[in-house]
Every structure is written in C-alpha cells, then in structure tokens.
Amino acid sequence: MCGIAGIADFSGLGGDVKATLQKMVSQLHHRGPDGTGFYHDAHIGLAHARLSIIDLAGGAQPIHNEDSTIQVIFNGEIFNYVELREELLGQGHQFYTHSDTEVIVHLYEQHGPGFVNKLNGQFAIAIWDTNKQRLLMYRDRVGIAPLYYAQTGSRITFGSEIKAILPALAARPGVNLQALDQLMTYWAPASPNTLFEGVYELPPGFMMVMDASGMQISRYWDWSFPVQADQYLADSEEVLAEQLRELLVDATRIRLRSDVPVGAYLSGGLDSSVLVAMIHHFSDAKLRTFSIGFDAESLDETSYQQLMIDQVGADHSRVQCSEADIAEHFVKTIWHTEAPILRTAPVPMRLLSNLVRSQDYKVVLTGEGSDEVLGGYDIFKETKIRQFWAANADSGFRPALLKRLYPYLDVSPGRAQQYLRNFFGSNLDEPNLPCFSHIPRWTTTAKCKEFFSSEVKATLSGDLMKLVESSLPQQSGDWHYFNRAQYLEAKTLMAGYLLSSQGDRMLMASSVEGRFPFLDHRVIEFANRLPPKLKMKALNEKYLLKRSMGGYLPDAIVNRHKQPYRAPDIPSFFTDNPPDYVNDLLSEAALAKSGLFDAKRVQMLVKKIRLGRAIGYKDNMALVGILSTQVWHDLYMS
C-alpha cells in the first residue's frame, strides 16, 4: 500500500500548492518510503508516497490516461489487474506502465464512475477528471485502505491518514467528544466520524464525487444476506466445502501477485494456518512466515505455530514481545493509530511488521476477516446460546453452555457461572432487538465512560444503540440473527478497529502491506449465502472452513479451542520501572489539562492497580482506554 493526499477547491486553490502538498505527503513517509509524486492545476493538488510493489521501475504516481486528461493517485492493490489489463487492451486502450494503477485510469475511461464494481482489491483511489472538472474518490468494499477528508467551504482536503490533512487546515481540529463516546462503546467511532472534529472517513464501500455543484457520497457495495430460505445455497456440505476451497485458493493466488517477495503471518490459529497451507499446497511461491510470541504463557501460541512450521517446512521468523516492549512502543503506536485503543494488542502487531520489514519483505498475507465472514468469533456463539436461552429463560442448562466458551476467564470457578449468567442474561426478553448480539459487549465496554469528566458527560447526547440501529439496512430485520450479528461485527469492530488500529496502521508503520484473502468480496458474497448452521454447527465455529481445509492442517490446530489474540495490558505499565509518560499523563495536572476524565476516579483506579486488585476486563480496558486517550490528546491536541 502507499499514501495519498490532496486538495480540491473549485473556487481556485491559490497559494503555494506544491509546498502544501509536500508538507502533507511528508506525514505519510512510513506508508511510502520509495518515492513521491505530485500533480496540481488551478483546482486540484494530488500527492503520492509510494511503496513500490508492482512495476518497480515504471509505477510512479500520479498516473494518467493517453492524453493526460485523467490523473489518478491510489493507495492499495488491484489484484485482478492482469485480467482487466488484457480486457482494456482488447478495447483499444494504450498503456505506458505495467502497474495496476494504470488499469484504474482506463477502466474509468471505459465505464465511467461505476468502474469500481469491476475491481477485486483493497484501495483508496482519487481520480481527477480535467474535462469534467470533477474529483472522484473510492474506498474498498470492507475498509482495508483508509481514506479521510475535511471540508471547509468549497475546499476539500483528503489523505490516507489524518496527520496528512492537518498541515493543510487553517486551524487544528478539536476533540470530537461524540466520537470518543462511540469509541468507548464500539471500540471505534461510528463511521464516518473520527476523533478529530470536522474530519471524516469515507466509509468502506462508498464513493464520493465532487465538482463545482457540490459533493455527493453514495454506497456502491455492502454486505447482504438472504431474506428467505430459498436464497441460501442448497448444495451438499461436500460440494460447498469444495467451492469454498476453490474460492479461497483463487483469492490467495491473486494476492500473491507481486514484483517483490510475499510472506505470511502465522499466529498458530486456524485462519493463518489455512493461508499458509494454501500457499504451500496450491502455489509455487516461496513459503516465508512471521509470528509473535509472548512471555506470558496464557497469551503465547508458539507451540501451535511450530506445529504448522514443522508440517509445511516454512522459513520462519519470530519476535518475542514482553510487557516492557508494550510500554516502550505504546506512544508511537498511538501516533500511528490516531485514535485511543482499549487493549494493547496493536503494539505487538507493529513489532511484527517491523520484523517483516527487517527481513526485506514488504508484503504479507494475513488471516484477518475469516472470523467475520465464516462465523468464528465467540460473540456469535454467545448470540446462539442467548437466543437458545431466551426461548426458555428459566433454564439452568442453557446458560451453563457459556462456561464452555471461556475456560480462560479471570474469575474463580465458583463465581464463573453466576458471573456469566449476569453478564449475558441481559435483554433475554427482547431477542429480536437489532443489536441483541452485541449488547453485552457494548455494555461492558461502555463502563469505561464512568471515568469521563462531568464536563464531557454533560456534552454527550443520543442513544448509541439507536445510532447503530439507524445504520442497518432496511432488510436486516428479515435476516437470520446470526447474519445480523456478522453484519454488526463487520461494520463496527472489524472496519473501525481491527482493519485500522490493529491492521493497516500497524502494518504501514513499518512500510509493510497486508493482504487479506478472506476479505475477497467473492468469498464474502459466497459465505453470506451459506446457511448459518454451516458456519457454526452447534458451537463448532467456522465449520465449513474446517471441512474445506482441515485435511491440510495438523489435527491439533483444527480441533483447538479458539483463543482470541491478546497482549498484556495493565502489567505493561505498572512495573518497578514504568516509563515516565505513564505517571505524567495519569497525573491530576495532565488529566485536568485534557479535561476528558475525572481525575479523582482515575487516581482511584491507579491506586487499585498498584494494590494488585485490578485484574478484570473492565479495569484493563479502562486503564488502556484512559492512558491511550491521554497519549492521543498529548500528541494531537496539545
């Protein structure tokens, strides 16, 4: 991937546009250290920071059409560019590079604004059409490549990261407190909001067209599920498993297209192991893998990683992450995320991408997206059990199933059952609520907001559950509850946090591009038509994926209990030698300066931690949320 930035003003740009563009793109050097390129005229300025992966010699951007009337800058990859190029050559288009970017230019010429539907890829695209004097911008279907913008009067400023937009604004944006409220509930602001007031993201699957008459934003793709039984795929399990394998093999094959070597992340879980197996069995690519290990035994998956390495004979590298590493790299991580985080999990992902880059790799495949697409998360199991329980609220057996989901729960065995009953037993009398699946998680996360200052609390308004409900497609009320839970997960946690703070930002921090075969839109559209019972059979998650690929994996990986990726939280910051910023930013003076949190309550939490009494999810999320918000405020608002 790369970095893009630009300014458009249909009243005329004025000033030293090139100098402004240089300031903007300099903030994206980590995304594109291999070169920069610029284009500007009276109404548009475009800048590009390049990470060269395809057509190393000739792919510099902006790239234009035959008569230079169409200019494009692009962050991402078009994986089906080989087939599209052949099609366009047959239609008479002339290419001057071998890059995937030039395909975009000629597709737009051939098909107009709807060309995006022909792309298989991950992308943020800006096209300037000089004949029609219009700017078009696109973001990929699921939100892998970021794209932000700010509008002031007739001027729009945009970039791959918000830090690229800031130098072009007349004034630094303030804190969007409503977005902070949303982040402390859903783990990310509700799209299109960001923590920066007046700065928005172009949502996944959306396009923007801007000309002298104004700006129009519209959706070109979305997740969709059957609304009646005969719309589900009806082939046998065996046939569907084979079709899924064929799709995944092709999704992986086209994501191995590159003029530089491509590696793969290997966590030791099912999804990354499937990817490694597909590369090994269905391609000629050299198998090079990378993984993280943790000092804490409860978080470490090294033994499963080794099982897979032994089976396929991969050339493997591993980075060990300690609590001290988390603390040392936390501040820089927040500079990259541009948003607070509620767990420290992104930090080790940055160390991992740094390992990849140190081994001269720029591209890795990752298993992200499989859980959302094929039904792997515990939240889907919780939803099944809670729906089952809601049908007989007095049952003792049904809530007991929850204990099977959380063998690692930080609660004594004697208290675990009652804890789970209390936690998951809410809203059982309303199983048809649109957000039924996510109420327990969001309720728990929202407890972080108890630490907000009274001034912040006074500004917050609106029902966040209603906010999400209003964003659901009209037909979602007719979807199976399992599919509705998948949609919510894809639109909130995956797009807002996993692909951003834990995904793109941590990869690009080290100038590494991640590719996501499970998020190929053909895989998503196929999986969305699978009967839910084939995604999760009883409580066996990703059942069809296991049926499809289990024969290529060690049994111990196929049958292991799913372990969510986690990293040390509170223990990272409260050691004998904590970094200075921890005490500084959690001090009463620093908390008063930001004005976001109640200093007395935060001090009580810190005291509780120092006494060794803070061990649960709530305390860990609160501490990481408060500390990362303070870091973010110090970096971007002070």
List pLDDT tens digits, range 296-314: 888 999 999 999 999 999 9
263 three-class SS: strand
Who's near 243: CB < 8 A, 6+ residues apart? 235, 526
Are the C-beta atoms of residues 508 and 1 closer than 8 Å to each other? yes
Q: What is the CA radius of gyration of the chain?
A: 24
pLDDT for 89-99, tens place per residue? 999 999 999 99
580-613 burial code (b ≥16 CB/10 A, e <16): ebbeebbbeebbeebebbbbebbeebbeebeeee
Q: Both tokens of residue 140? A: 């990929």
Torsion 627-631-634-636 (CA) sign? negative
Asked which of 52-61, 402-411, 465-474, 571-580 is least confident by mean pLDDT, the reply is 402-411
Burial bucket for residue 277 (CB in 10 Å: 0-12, 13-18, 19+): buried
Q: At what angle do helices 481-489 and 378-390 cross, to 10 degrees?
A: 150
| For range 490-509, the mean pLDDT | 97
pLDDT for 505-537, tens place per residue? 999 999 999 999 999 999 999 999 999 999 999
Asked which of 113-117, 422-426, 452-456 is least confident by mean pLDDT, the reply is 422-426
Specify whether the backbone of 198 is left (phi greater than 0), alpha (psi in -120 to 50) or beta: left
The fraction of the chain above a pLDDT of 70, given in percent, is 98
Residue-level pLDDT at 626? 98
Taking alpha carbons only, the member of 547, 230, 214, 255 closest to residue 375 is 547
**For residues 504 and 145, what is the distance between their CA atoms, to the nearest angstrom?**
7
Residue-level pLDDT at 389? 84
Q: How confident is the model at residue 169 (pLDDT cuts 50, 70, 90)?
A: very high
**For residues 292 and 348, what is the distance between their CA atoms, to the nearest angstrom?**
7
Are the C-beta atoms of residues 192 and 495 closer than 8 Å to each other? no
* DSSP E strand boundaries for 142-242: 148-152, 155-159, 199-201, 206-211, 214-219
* Cα 358–Cα 364–Cα 369 angle in degrees, nearest 5: 140
**For residues 318 and 267, what is the distance between their CA atoms, to the nearest angstrom?**
10
378 is in an annotated binding site: no
Neighbours of 148 (CB within 10 A): 23
How are beta strands 63-64 and 70-78 bridged, if at all? antiparallel
Taking alpha carbons only, the member of 436, 519, 532, 565 closest to residue 204 is 519
Q: Both tokens of residue 15? A: 């000033």
Who's near 220: CB < 8 A, 6+ residues apart? 114, 116, 117, 138, 205, 206, 207
Compute φ and ψ for 343, nearest 5 degrees. -135, 160
**For residues 291 and 285, what is the distance between their CA atoms, to the nearest angstrom?**
19
Mean pLDDT for the chain overall: 94
Are the C-beta atoms of residues 406 and 420 closer than 8 Å to each other? yes
Residue 378, pLDDT > 70, answer yes
**For residues 384 and 590, what is the distance between their CA atoms, to the nearest angstrom?**
44
Residue 616, pLDDT > 90, answer no
Who's near 555: CB < 8 A, 6+ residues apart? none
| For range 430-436, the mean pLDDT | 93
Residue 399, pLDDT > 70, answer no
Residue-level pLDDT at 14? 86
Residue-level pLDDT at 412? 58
Residue 410, pLDDT > 60, answer no
* DSSP E strand boundaries for 30-106: 36-40, 44-49, 63-64, 70-78
Q: Both tokens of residue 259? A: 């003029």
**For residues 196 and 167, what is the distance between their CA atoms, to the nearest angstrom?**
14
Give the side-chain half-sphere CA count within 13 A for 95: 23
**For residues 218 and 117, what is the distance between their CA atoms, to the nearest angstrom?**
13
Residue-level pLDDT at 585? 98
Residue-level pLDDT at 637? 96
Are the C-beta atoms of residues 515 and 252 closer than 8 Å to each other? no
Are the C-beta atoms of residues 192 and 201 closer than 8 Å to each other? yes
Q: Both tokens of residue 31? A: 């995304």
Neighbours of 168 (CB within 10 A): 21
At position 625, the amino acid (one-letter code) is: G
Concatenated DSSP letters of 382-417? HHHHHHHHHTTTT-SHHHHGGGGG-TT-SS-HHHHH
Residue 82, pLDDT > 60, answer yes
228 three-class SS: coil
Place of tokens 């799709």: 247
Q: Both tokens of residue 564? A: 């969510």
| For range 189-206, the mean pLDDT | 98
Are the C-beta atoms of residues 509 and 350 closer than 8 Å to each other? yes
At position 337, the amino acid (one-letter code) is: T
Domains of the chain: 3-219 (3.60.20.10), 229-327+341-368+499-559 (3.40.50.620), 374-491 (no CATH), 570-637 (no CATH)
Residue-level pLDDT at 533? 97
Q: Both tokens of residue 338? A: 């541009």
Q: How confident is the model at residue 323 (pLDDT cuts 50, 70, 90)?
A: very high
Residue 386 CA, distance from chain mean position = 27
**For residues 318 and 348, what is the distance between their CA atoms, to the nearest angstrom?**
12
How are beta strands 288-294 and 206-211 bridged, if at all? unpaired
Q: How confident is the model at residue 415 (pLDDT cuts 50, 70, 90)?
A: low
479 three-class SS: coil
| C-alpha distances in Å from residue 341, one per residue of 195, 460, 509 | 12, 20, 16
Are the C-beta atoms of residues 487 and 476 closer than 8 Å to each other? yes
Torsion from C-alpha of 486, 487, 493, 498, nearest 10 degrees: 80
Are the C-beta atoms of residues 609 and 623 closer than 8 Å to each other? yes
Structure letter (DSSP) for residue 436: G
Residue-level pLDDT at 393? 74
Residue-level pLDDT at 414? 61
**For residues 511 and 358, what is the distance between their CA atoms, to the nearest angstrom?**
10
Whether 2 is a known active-site residue: answer yes
Q: Is the peptide bond before 189 cis (omega within 30 degrees of 0)?
A: no
**For residues 157 and 633, what is the distance between their CA atoms, to the nearest angstrom?**
22
Who's near 101: CB < 8 A, 6+ residues apart? 59, 61, 63, 72, 74, 78
Place of tokens 């590079």: 97
Residue-level pLDDT at 524? 98
9 is in an annotated binding site: no
Residue-level pLDDT at 411? 56
